[in-house]
Amino acid sequence: MTSLWNDEEASRFKTDLDLRVYTSRLLGCDPSLVLHGGGNTSVKSTATNLFGESEEILYVKGSGWDLATIEAEGFAPVKMEMLLKMSELKELSDTDMVKYQRLAMTNPSAPNPSVEAILHAIIPFKFVDHTHTDAVVTITNTKDGEARIKELYGDKVLVIPYIMPGFVLAKLIYDMTRDVNWSELEGMVLMNHGLFTFSDDAKKSYEKTIELVDKAEKYLEAKGATLNIERAYVSLELLTLAKIRKEVSNLKGRATISILNDSDIAVHFSKQNIDKIAIQGPLTPDHVIRTKRVPAILGDDFASDLAEYVKEYKNYFEQNKKDETLLNPAPNFAILRGNGTLSFGANAKEANIIKDINEHTYEAILKAEKLGGYKALSAANIFEVEYWSLEQAKLKGGASAPEFSGKVAVVTGAASGIGLAIAKMLNKRGAAVVALDINPDVEKIFSKADAIGVKCDLTSSQDIQNAISCAVKSFGGVDIVVSNAGIFTPSENLDSLSDENWQRSMDINLTSHQKLIKYTAPFLKLGVDASIVMVASKNFPAPGKGAAAYSVAKAGQTQLARIAALELGEYGVRVNTLHPHAVFDTAIWTDEVLRNRAKAYNMSVHEYKTNNVLKTEICSNDVAELVCAMAGAPFAKTTGAQVAIDGGSDRII
């Protein structure tokens, strides 16, 4: 492992806290050191209070912040005097620890201090760095892990037996170090937990972490604990993935994102003796609030395997509970025998966090096996953290789930106009979105973990199938299909309508919608409260001259939706249609076109844009709102409906 410290860059940071932010980010940018909010750092400094008095302050990472992106406001300022007095107490409950740490803060709007704030306070150095480094924790999670750590570091590192984080850990270290000469120590290794380094100099503390981790990595290599992973190939039916996701969603009682991990290491791990190595427990106990203690292991009869997992989880709970309440017993990830793994989350972010944690765990387990065998903490120790009130608070701290959380939406024509507005609104309201468009810009527009753009020619069956494959592998299935893509063909009367324009309109404005239904229907049948929303046109109920190619195709699309409603209703799939008209903020309505059209009707542009019964303008977001209503609770018991969104047209009314 190589230090990322840059003297020139570091010289720009003048205050203690600025340097603390800098080195915290250096640690946080390496996922082999910390993952998704893991680890914590601190700096001891002084501040002048309201009365002009100087106070010793510990700036410690606040709960909910990630070291990779932390800012100065992510550090909680806590009075050192209070923390040191707390460390001398014989006992302190978790609730009281959190309460009194907050009372000792100099800024009440700052985040809650880390549960390890007291531990940071008693370490007598300015800078303290705590990481969950893969290499060190891998060594600790072996049958003779403590002996190996002592062999590696000798007396320069204090080895702390595993104990729950928080006050009890701080108290243990306080008692263990009363007679320790701290200046002789380079760090502390917390068994099954992580590494602490410290110094009065930011660079030295950071680089001590790098040095100790580098030694651990070289130790693993010298002991033959390296991996040679071959290129992975799997053969999984997409419908099987959708069926598993449906079953897990049922067990969790809500729509669930399911992400397939078919990386080389995930597949390699799934081909090992997983009944032995995968069911011991997580790499470090704080992972349990994300991953649960063990995965479900799924074979051909995955429904039975999932039922057995739930049964075993309940047994685990009964064996370890005191007065806790059972959490949802469904798995948070699963190993598909020989075919990789799945992670399950309330949203794509959560599922991806679980996926990332597991990737690091697979590697650690495989290396630990080469050191004589992986050995995690006992089920009782893991349970203690899983049901620890302070850890559960991390998961409960967020706002209530958005409307479409856990849902998977496919939106066509999503690179611009109405489709773009729909895809963005569904995503903003919690859905994982797969946005399709023939314009390759869609891949740049949607490039987030929960919103993927796919270049797709909707007249191509293969392109559509590839896009659906992407949706199922990325998110587990399909719940919402918004069939929006379409084109306006040139205005031509019937006696001059070209065969080319007629066929082009039929292909894109009608047949593409039929193809989309054909290839998504099998997955919608396995969806959660599944629905199709057809974006048709006012030209169906109120056609105009010169628009035969467009109007007839839109009439066919509307009829297609009605038939789909009849055929898919028995599977709980709703199909509804909306007919937008005069949506002026789309690409075809340039300022020039608007001026010319308004002039032709002897109107101002504003009069032309509000030429409807309600005298209101229709925008893409208005259409998106109606799509969300049709895909959501307001239309939960409606199918086969057609709704105009046009401000009221006297021709339709």
Nearest CA among 435, 451, 552 for reference residue 505: 552
Question: Where does 129-232 have alpha helices with state H?
Answer: 134-140, 145-153, 167-176, 202-222
What's 99-113 look like in SS3? HHHHHCECCCCCCCE
In degrees and rounded to multiples of 5, residue 326 shows phi and psi of -60, 130
DSSP secondary structure letter of residue 490: P
DSSP secondary structure letter of residue 16: H
Pairwise CA distance, residues 346 & 344, whole Å? 7
Tokens 């205005």, located at residue: 491
Contact of 46 with 54, CB cutoff 8 Å: yes
Nearest CA among 438, 439, 471, 473 for reference residue 456: 438
Q: Look up 550 and say whether it is catalytic.
A: yes
Q: How far is CA 194 from the centre of its chain?
A: 24
In degrees and rounded to multiples of 5, residue 483 shows phi and psi of -90, 90
Question: What SS3 class is residue 539?
Answer: coil
Nearest CA among 450, 552, 458 for reference residue 503: 552
Total length of the chain: 653
Task: Give whole-number Cα distances, 58 to 46, 76, 114, 492, 493, in Å.
Answer: 8, 8, 11, 75, 78
Pairwise CA distance, residues 23 & 97, whole Å? 27
Instruction: List Cβ neighbours of 364 (8 Å cut-off, separation of 6 or more).
Output: 134, 137, 138, 141, 283, 374
In degrees and rounded to multiples of 5, residue 544 shows phi and psi of -130, 165
Pairwise CA distance, residues 339 & 234, whole Å? 5
Task: Give whole-number Cα distances, 454 to 309, 404, 478, 487, 520, in Å.
Answer: 36, 21, 15, 19, 15
Angle, CA 641 vertex, CA 636 and CA 643 arms, to 5°: 105
Contact of 288 with 386, CB cutoff 8 Å: yes
Instruction: Return the number of other C-beta atoms located less than 10 Å from residue 228's C-beta.
Output: 5
Burial of residue 98 (number of CB atoms within 10 Å: 0-12, 13-18, 19+): buried
Task: Give whole-number Cα distances, 383 to 288, 364, 439, in Å.
Answer: 8, 21, 50
Q: How far is CA 193 from the centre of its chain?
A: 24
Contact of 426 with 405, CB cutoff 8 Å: no
Nearest CA among 309, 343, 347 for reference residue 328: 309
Catalytic residue among 22, 550, 571, 608, which? 550
Per DSSP, what are the bridge partners of residue 645?
A: 580
List, by residue number, the catalytic residues. 550
